[in-house]
Structure formats: C-alpha cells, structure tokens
Amino acid sequence: MKIIDDLNSWNSFKKTVKKGSIIGLVPTMGALHDGHAALIKKAQKECSHVVTSIFINPTQFDNSIDFQNYPSNSEKDIQFLKGLGVTLLFKPSEKLMYPYEIKASNYDLNGLDKKLEGALRPGHFQGVATVVDRLFELLEPDRAYFGLKDFQQVEVVKKVASMRKNPLKIVSCRVVREDSGLAKSSRNFRLSAKQKKAAASIFQALKFAEKEIKIFPIPPIALEREMKSIINSSGFLKVEQIEFVFADNLDLIKSQDYPLDHYQRDVQCFVSAFAGDVRLIDNYRIS
C-alpha cells in the first residue's frame, strides 16, 4: 500500500492513471471499522483506482474535548486497509489541508447546515463542507463514497460537489450495523461493554417507530415519548433529541399532533443520545 502525504506524490500517481479510468475516494477520519470497509469494497467494485483518506478534521468539531478524544490508531488503521487490499492511502497534514489558517469556509448550503445536527452543533457542517471540498480540490476524484449513518452529511456533501466547477458523483451507502442493530461508528470504540449493549436500544426505538406507523395513526408527540422511554430505560443512555423530517428535503415535521402516516411522504427519523460523554447518532426511514 502506498501512503501519500503530499501533493507532489499524488500528482505523480495521477500521471500513471490511464485516460478514462475512474478514481474513487473514501474520506475517513480513521478509527476504521466495518462501515468504512463497506464503502471501500463498493468503491473497489465501481472504480479503476480507490484512494482512502485519513484526516481528523478539526473544523467540524464544535467541542474541542470531543476533538481531542476522537479515537486514533494509525498503525491499526493501516493494517485494516491492507487487509482490504487498499493500494492508496492519503494522509495529509493539517498544513496541507489548511495552508493559511485552521478555519472553516462559509458555504451556501441552502440551510442544510442549520437543521437537525446543524442546529445542535453550530458550524459543524461548514467544517465538513470545507474539508471535503479541499479533498476534492487536491485529489480530483470522479466519485466519493459516504455512509448514510450520517444522512444529513451526505446531503451537505452532495451540495458541495454540485457547486464545484467539475462536479463529481457522490455515492451514498447503506448503514452498516452490529448484530444488535447498533450503527457501526468510530465513536463506538469509546463505549464500555455495558454502554455498547445499551446503545442497541436506539435502533430498537427506530424499528418500533417504523412498526407503530404501519399499525396506528400515531402523531410525533406520542411516538417520541415512546421512543425516549425505550432508549432511556436502557439505563446507560440519555436521549438528546428525536426529530421527524421529510426525507426529501430534511424539513422538520412541525405538527406534533398530526399522524405521520397521513402525509403520504417518506419520513426520516433522527436520534441523538449520550452514553456517558459519548454522543451517538442514528437515523432510519420509518415511513
């Protein structure tokens, strides 16, 4: 596996790429797991060359402690990638990614950065937009692969890609879950065994919501109450927020009393909860 940390080395590689080849990018922040593996495998099937990047992006953390505590193990990640047959790893420095100052740019994201996660974590999606735009600028991939566990992030990245002079295809991939239903996440490495077991209650609550909507004309206020009970009763989790939105534009469903199945539109449910100081997120199409 070739590890590239500067632009000259990347440009040298690009000169060896045959015309018409498809370059796929799988951006990560390390702490790799099966969710990342699924992205890489899909990219390997669809692209002539695949580059995986590892860069823990400081501008998307609204909490400096969260940034400092983000799990990092370069050697373990390298072995993980080698096991998948990855041939190109891009590990840029902060200086390469932020040559002038470590600061997020300001993108017009049509309000996507203000909703849901964006409302809870001001500035987060501007940081995401900044880092992916920089990766696209440096590497010029034809495709980039992202997981739908971060559903809103995928929409932000699609918007950023569309604004570029040479747009690229953003490929969204399904959520990879543990046998328990817990969404695979780098943050799971910070959970104790008991917390990890309890965290499965998030997906249990999402599946409960899906089932309830099929059976009853249930309004958001009642569904949220039941979902919170399922998660909080695990004993190790505390719900931060549960939101119901229209899947096509992420607009919040404001009426608390109108049954969700009556809209005749796809509804996505977003959940955030804390296990100690570890913040977990998940989402699911419930109707």
Catalytic residues: 36
Q: Are 281 and 237 in contact (CB under 8 A)?
A: no
Beta strand 278-285 pairing with 88-90: unpaired
CB neighbour class for 182 (10 Å; exposed up to 12, middle 13-18, buried from 19): buried
Residues 271/200, Cβ–Cβ less than 8 Å? no
The rounded distance, in Å, linking the Cα atoms of 35 and 84 is 13
The values of phi and psi at residue 141, to 5°, are -75, 165
| Contacts of residue 193, Cβ cutoff 8 Å, sequence gap at least 6 | none
| CA separation for the pair 204, 215 (Å, rounded) | 17
* 213, 237, 241, 272 from 233: Cα distances, Å: 22, 8, 15, 15
Residues 160, 164, 166, 170: what is their CA dihedral angle, to the nearest 10 degrees? 0
| Distance from C-alpha of 271 to C-alpha of 227, rounded to nearest angstrom | 9
Residue 221's Cβ-count burial label (10 Å; 0-12, 13-18, 19+) is exposed
Q: d(Cα 128, Cα 154) in Å, to the nearest integer?
A: 10
